């Protein structure tokens, strides 16, 4: 007999490659506690973590990403600048998403729980990369001064956001585009377009977006510790016990990915023990 899920909602924060901590954690705890949320919200690299969770392919995301990283010897596109631009990151990330979130996975996602992805928009459409860079600076400033998963300064600079229905994107065949667009950090990456609007990493707007509607008990999977985490009834903010080994956008070290996933597994086992 199935158990009632202890959480109605699950939030996957951003954090680049640190999001593999989320994958290791939920891989350990989901069946042990009957984690079966009605609604899932995600941002940045957490969008891929969420997709992997829904179709139970988180470990496959890890394996494929490690395989691709083993082939990369630099974070600079020295030999492929004409096709990749400054870095090979966007191409590699898309290749991983396309391989893991295939037709079968997209069908599972489209039939699954509510799954939303927060994407950000730079202040200006005409100078999206430049204004996106300014937004990045505002985000970094607030991250290190206020240190909260919920931002306010980038919005004052004109950053806006859209919470996108990822199940609909799966049905329309645009889920890969959405997941890849969600993890776009200017000025390193070129802002893509989504429904006619340029996109930047939604984590610059909010690192822990809540689903719409926002109802019930919520588990928020962070990827770093913050000094100022809100206290709210029915919400559990869960950060890694220690800093994740993976660098945010270093695509050359697969072993750091493995170690980050392992940290998530270890924290998951510790969390289960503390609950008992």
pLDDT-based confidence at residue 2 (cuts at 50, 70, 90): low
Average pLDDT, the chain: 88
User: What's the per-residue H, E or C state across 137-169?
Assistant: HHHHHHHHHCCCCECCHHHHCCCEEEEEEHHHH
pLDDT-based confidence at residue 185 (cuts at 50, 70, 90): confident
Contact 124, 191 (CB under 8 A): no
* pLDDT(128) > 60: no
Domain ranges of the chain: 9-263
pLDDT of residue 1: 40
* 145-183 pLDDT tens trace: 668 888 776 677 778 899 999 999 999 999 999 999 999
Q: Residue 149 and residue 154: Cα distance in Å, rounded? A: 13
Task: Please report how the helices 20-33 and 254-275 are oriented relative to each other, as an axis angle in degrees rounded to 10.
Answer: 30
Burial class (CB in 10 A: 0-12, 13-18, 19+), 23: buried
Alpha carbon distances (Å) from 47 to 27, 41, 57, 245, 276: 16, 8, 13, 20, 30
pLDDT: which is higher, 139 or 267: 267
* pLDDT(126) > 80: no
Residues marked as catalytic: 44, 201
Most distant CA atoms of the chain, gap in Å: 56
Mean pLDDT of 239-250: 90
Q: How far apart are the first and last CA of the chain?
A: 21
Contact 114, 105 (CB under 8 A): no
* 51-103 pLDDT tens trace: 999 999 999 999 999 999 888 776 665 566 556 555 778 888 999 999 999 99
């Amino acid at each position: 007999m199935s158990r009632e899920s202890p959480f109605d909602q699950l939030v996957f924060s951003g954090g680049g490659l640190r999001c593999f901590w989320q994958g290791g954690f939920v891989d350990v705890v989901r069946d042990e506690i009957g984690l079966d949320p009605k609604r899932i919200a995600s941002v940045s690299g957490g969008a891929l973590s969420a997709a992997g969770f829904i179709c139970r392919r988180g470990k496959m995301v890890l394996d494929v990403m490690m395989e691709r990283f083993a082939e990369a010897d630099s974070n600079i596109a020295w030999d492929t600048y004409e096709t990749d631009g400054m870095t090979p990151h966007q191409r590699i990330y898309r290749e991983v998403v396309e391989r893991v979130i295939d037709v079968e996975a997209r069908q599972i996602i489209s039939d699954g729980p509510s799954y939303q992805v927060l994407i950000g928009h730079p202040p200006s459409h005409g100078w999206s990369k430049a204004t996106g860079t300014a937004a990045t600076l505002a985000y970094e400033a607030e991250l290190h001064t206020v240190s909260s998963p919920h931002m306010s300064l980038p919005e004052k600079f004109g950053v806006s956001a859209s919470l996108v229905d990822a199940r609909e994107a799966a049905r329309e065949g645009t889920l890969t585009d959405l997941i890849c667009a969600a993890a776009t950090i200017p000025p390193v990456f070129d802002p893509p377009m989504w429904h006619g609007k340029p996109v930047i990493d939604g984590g610059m707007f909010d690192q822990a977006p809540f689903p719409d509607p926002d109802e019930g008990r919520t588990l928020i999977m962070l990827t770093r510790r913050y000094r100022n985490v809100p206290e709210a009834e029915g919400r559990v903010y869960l950060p890694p016990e220690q800093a994740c080994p993976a660098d945010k956008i270093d695509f050359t070290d697969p072993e750091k990915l493995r170690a980050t996933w392992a940290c998530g597994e270890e924290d998951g086992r510790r969390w289960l023990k503390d609950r008992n």
